[in-house]
Structure 1
Amino acid sequence: MNALTIDVEDYFQVSAFDDHIPRTDWPHWPCRIERNVDLILGLLERHGVHATFFTLGWIAERYPALVRRIVDQGHELASHGYHHLRASEQTPAEFRHDIDLSKQLLEQLSGQAVLGYRAPSFSIGRRNMWALDCLHAAGYRYSSSIYPIRHDHYGMPDAPRFAWHPAGQSGVLELPVSTVRLLGRNLPAGGGGYFRLLPYAVSRWALRRINSRDGQAGIFYFHPWELDPDQPVPQGIGLKTRLRHYLNLRRTEARLHRLLADFRWGRMDHIFLGNA
């Protein structure tokens, strides 16, 4: 059983657009989150799959009915923070305020405990491990925020590839997005842009290797905007960012259908915390 996760943010909120779309302008951009999440909910229902939705507080506050649809269909609601701020760019006090605010808001809207957190851009690493102590103090039970790869914007390549307790046997459980070990390096195998940029066969091979050779559950993620080829395009973004964000958007939905059919999927809390 592998864990399927969705980072619920809209296209204009991605970290790569921070220099082009300030947060003060977010309310002026047309939101497409309801259309895209409803498409995902229909896809999951068709395949009989339950997933974990790491949801921005900013989105939840403006679309409370969407949050309730997610929960009513049997999915786990988890936190992606409130403002989509990188944990590495916040002070401990700022980070604690953000994770408290999002957790309280999501719990009020859903009527359920929020146990999981994923930092925007996987922005917990060697230099800010204090963030895990903040999560534990705020009542979170697990994090999926440390990506054990080498990347130009994030990553902690020497971190464990599978579930681990960064603070020993206490504190939050860290559940990293999946990687495969090849030629002495950890390579991404858990979705995101790699799922769109590379042939589907690569993702299928990697997850099968994790399940069979490593004997572990895979953790896969994607964003609602990755199923939306008609989203607006901000002006002035560079070629590298444009390729990472927009390439193969029209193929994502069909690939997800194949992925859901080829593997068994479930929620993060059910797989790693029992039925908590």
Structure 2
Amino acid sequence: MNSPATKPICNAMTIDVEDYFQVSAFANHISRDSWPSQTCRVERNVDLILGLLDAAQVNATFFTLGWIAERYPAMIKKIVAGGHELASHGYGHLRVSDQSEAEFMEDISSSKHLLEDLGGQKILGYRAPSFSIGTKNLWALDTLLKAGYRYSSSIYPIKHDHYGMPDAPRFAFYPNGADGLLELPITTVRIMQRNYPAGGGGFFRLLPYPISHWLIQRVNQQDKQPGIFYFHPWEVDPDQPRQQNIGLKTRFRHYVNLSRTESRLKSLTRDFKWGRMDKIFLTKS
């Protein structure tokens, strides 16, 4: 924890609001056409998260799929009523790398307008599904600016088998100048000339909690920067329907330690100071 003599840095707590059957790892096993017939768990899980955040007096940013918002408008209103920031995760969890510029503009514009209509607040932030903005499609950042977004949290400066831009800056930066879009990468630590994940996701479930605590503490104390942490509603749901037709690697990544996530999140909200992305990184709302 931070020393009592120093004011604690406020880190950003973020949630990528999608249901278990929408994750990219299941894309080849669960068709999009079947989504409406799947057993949805997102409302139950978001209610649990909202209760956890309220108990800890933490406000967060909810990067929400338009597909989800359209079907659960009451949930969107609960998020906003709780004092949280509503942001976009796109409409249908399509990777940016799988879209043309025109398709991407339609996706981010439709989700932005939908969320603004339902939530009654301006949507400033966007996070790409599977952190799918990188070296080959940086044009997407200009498209986001044209669509009216102020910031993105879509570039992950790590080496990963599905995503990542390891040479990108580790902390907040303007890829195209100060008049452009602000990019807010998920938190990493730099050890022996390599970036390692320190901002949640599957690593938060895989590794013992003291390691996650040490990583965030290192960023706050050594780098003197706010951390950006993320997780998904399905990660607090060990009772979600289990998929039977997936590989061992995918099965491990998705299901490891789901039963421990809730208690670890409670520890995380107790051990560090947390807030919304817009309040931490934007000088104007």
CA displacement, residues 22-74 of structure 1 (integer Å, 9 cap, x when unaligned)? 11110010000000000000000000000000000000000000000000010
Where does residue 29 of structure 2 map in the other structure? 20
- For normalisation by structure 1, the TM-score amounts to 0.99
Count matched residues. Answer: 276
- Corresponding position: 1:88 with 2:110: no
Tell me how far apart the structure 2 counterparts of residues 61 and 245 of structure 1 sit (CA, whole Å). 25
Q: Give deviations 1:95-129, integer Å, cap 9, x for gaps.
A: 00000000000000011100000000000000000
The letter for the 1-side match of 2:210 is: A
1:102 matched to 2:111? The reply is yes
- 2:239 aligned with 1:230: yes
1:3 pairs, out of 9, 12, 20, with 12
Other-structure match for 2:214: 205
**Residue identity (%):** 70
Other-structure match for 2:149: 140
Question: Residue 270 of structure 1 aligns with which residue?
Answer: 279
| Structure 2: distance between partners of 1:140 and 1:54 | 13
Deviation of residue 270 (structure 1)? 0.1
Secondary structure at the residue paired with 1:158?
Answer: coil
CA offset at residue 235 of structure 1? 2.5
Distance 1:170 1:191 in 2: 30
Equivalents in 2 of 1:98, 1:78: separation in Å? Answer: 14
The aligned runs of 1:114-263 (5 Å cut-off) are: 114-263=123-272
* Letter in structure 1 aligned against 2:177: G
Aligned partner of 1:71 in structure 2 is 80
Deviation at 1:171, TM superposition (A): 1.4
Give the whole-Å Cα distance in 1 for the aligned partners of 2:97 and 2:221.
35
The residue type equivalent to 2:125 in the other structure is G
Give the letter for the 2:154 counterpart: S
TM-score, normalised with respect to structure 2 = 0.96
The residue that corresponds to 2:39 in the other structure is 30
Stretches of structure 1 that go unaligned for 5 or more consecutive residues are none
SS state at 1:213 partner: helix
The SS at the match of 1:106 is: helix
Q: How far did 1:275 drift?
A: 5.3
How far apart are residue 274 of structure 1 and its match?
3.3
Q: Kindly state the Cα deviation for residue 168 of structure 1 after the two structures are TM-superposed.
A: 1.6
Question: C-alpha separation between the residues in 1 aligned to 2:244 and 2:264?
Answer: 29
Aligned-partner Cα distance in 2 for 1:75–1:90: 30
Unaligned runs of at least 5 residues, structure 2: 1-9
AA aligned to 1:109 is: L
Cα pair distance change 1:41/1:275, threshold 3 Å: farther
Q: Distance in 1 between matches of 2:284 and 2:219?
A: 23
> How far apart are the structure 2 equivalents of 1:160 and 1:15?
25
Secondary structure of the structure 2 residue equivalent to 1:187: strand
CA distance in 1, matches of 2:283, 2:266: 26
Distance 1:80 1:233 in 2: 24
Instruction: Detail structure 1 runs of 4+ shifted over 4 Å in the superposition.
Output: none
Distance in 1 (CA, whole Å) between partners of 2:153 and 2:211 is 23
> Please, what is the CA RMSD of the aligned residues?
0.6
